[in-house]
A and B are shown apart, each in its own frame.
Chain A
Amino acid sequence: MSDRIFGAVGLCLALFYAWATLQIQESFLSDAVGPKTFPLVIAVILGLSSLAILLKPDPDPVWPGLARLAEILAAAVVMILYAEFLPIAGFLIATAFAAAYLTWRLGTRPLQSLVVGVATSIGIYVIFKLVLGLSLASGPFGF
């Protein structure tokens, strides 16, 4: 069943891809092949392979329960927040929080998670910023 849904989604994706390709504004200046040919070929093969998946599905994988699924989504949300707050809060703070959260959700005790999170953050800061000299986000306190 999973593969049938996957195939159907793939088919929709191929259709959307073809549609989006047709929306490309061509300039007056075009080469012999044009900007649409290659993506259209991709869309066709994408559609055909989706159809094949839909018609000949593999056995279903084991999907996690709702609770686990929520766990994964929550982690993704935390990562998104991390990406958004990184330039605002600065590297050390944002990273310590995100790392502590992930450590906690992977089954470490809360207090220990916090310690691990802070240690991870400082460790990465030392390697990437002080040793390799990359410019990481500096927040209101300069780190």
Chain B
Amino acid sequence: MAFKLMRAAIAVAALTVATGASAQECIAPANPGGGWDFTCRQVGKSLQDLGLIDKTMQVVNLAGGGGGVAFAEVVNKRNDDNELIVAASSATATRLAQGAYPGNTMDQVRWIASIGADYGVIAVAANSEIKTLPELLDKIKTDPTSVSVAGGSAVGGWDHLKVLIAANAYGIDDVRSVKYIAFDGGGEAVTQLLAGSVQAFTGDLSEAKGFVDSGDIRVIAVLAPERLPGEFSEFPTAKEQGIDAIGANWRGFYGPGGMSDEAYNEWADKIGKLYASDEWKQVMAANGLAPLDLQGAEFQQFVANSVQQIQDISRQIGIIK
């Protein structure tokens, strides 16, 4: 143990020394402990364990503006830094699409690679009379005020958009009528579903897992292209219920817009190798991440599509003009 502690002390010291030289750096655009912070730290650790980078990745927290401060910093000050990556997720794409990073757009940076995705679910309480997604959407269609849908993100955020994408695909024309209640995080939203304050829940699979296992809530649809592997395979997708809605909360990285092609390809390659490793498979399983294996140009295209889709639906509900 003492030996382990010593090793940690050396590691910390090494980290410090490394900052002087041009070590690889990962910006987590939020305070320590959040999802982006974990993305940086976990990927940094795994890259080093696999020997893909030789020094410890320096993780820098740059919070503010829902990631906007970090985005602006990268665009304005670090535009040609080849040693820098930034953690991103669907939330980043959502904010970019809605112009919530004033003056910034997605093509100012280079999208490097994804490391997995968390597919959206729509769930109801176990004792609810609603059994399928069409039943729920039908109820919303007839009387929108009778169903409150709870989610962990702000209005216009990803949890909200997921239910709107489903409603839209079902043919509810005025998606604005869907009554969405924003809570501080998915856990709180699920709790209010259990307490009976709301009738449905929209969120990520990982947020709902504990309650699904205990039988307290019932997943009526997974917003994935096909059924998920393993223990999640019992959940029906929205698509097989006739509603063509897909909503994945992906996690990945972008780099500065002025990053050289060589560096860009190298990063994409490294994260691709990381993705393929057994170690990463375990991390994904532990975090409830589903497969989303995109690097380089493919990922760039994926993000562009995602931004476009969010823009369309946001325009429709009037969040942007």
Contact = CB atoms under 8 A, between A and B. Distances in A.
Contacts of A29: 155-156, 176, 317-319
A143 B18 CA distance: 11
Interface in A96-143: 129-131, 133, 135, 138, 141-143
B12 A28 contact: no
Contact of A133 (B15, B155, B176): B15
Contacts of B155: 29, 31
A28 B16 contact: no
Nearest to A35: B155
A96 to B, nearest CB: 18
Contact of A138 (B12, B15, B19, B318): B19
A27 interface: yes
Contact of B317 (A28, A31, A131, A133): A28
B176 A28 contact: yes
Contacts of A131: 12
Nearest to A130: B16
Given A135-B58, A135-B59, A27 B16 contact: no
- Say whether chain A's binding surface is mostly helix, strand, loop, or mixed: loop
Interface string B158-177: 00000000000000000010
A143 B319 contact: no
B317 A129 contact: no
Interface string A27-55: 11101000000000000000000000000
Given A28-B176, A29-B155, A135 B60 contact: yes
Contact of A27 (B19, B20, B318): B318
B59 A129 contact: no
Interface in B279-321: 317-319
Contacts of A130: 12-13, 16
A133 B155 CA distance: 36
Given A27-B319, A29-B319, A135-B61, A129 B16 contact: yes
A142 B23 CA distance: 11
A28 B321 CA distance: 10
Nearest to B32: A134
- Count chain A CB atoms within 10 A of each CB in B19, B60, B156 and give the residue with the most: B19
A27 B320 CA distance: 8
Interface in B176-220: 176
B318 A28 contact: yes
Nearest to A129: B16
A67 B133 CA distance: 72
- Count chain B CB atoms within 10 A of each CB in A133, A135, A141, A142 and give the residue with the most: A135
Interface of B: 12-13, 15-16, 19-21, 58-61, 155-156, 176, 317-319
Q: Which 5 A-B pairs have the closest CB atoms?
A: A28-B318, A142-B20, A135-B60, A133-B12, A27-B318
19 contacts: A27-B156, A27-B318, A28-B176, A28-B319, A29-B155, A29-B156, A29-B318, A31-B155, A130-B16, A133-B12, A133-B15, A135-B19, A135-B58, A135-B59, A135-B60, A135-B61, A138-B19, A138-B20, A143-B20
Given A28-B319, A130-B13, A135-B60, 15 more contacts: A27-B318, A28-B176, A28-B317, A28-B318, A29-B176, A29-B317, A29-B318, A31-B155, A129-B16, A130-B12, A135-B58, A135-B61, A138-B19, A141-B20, A143-B20
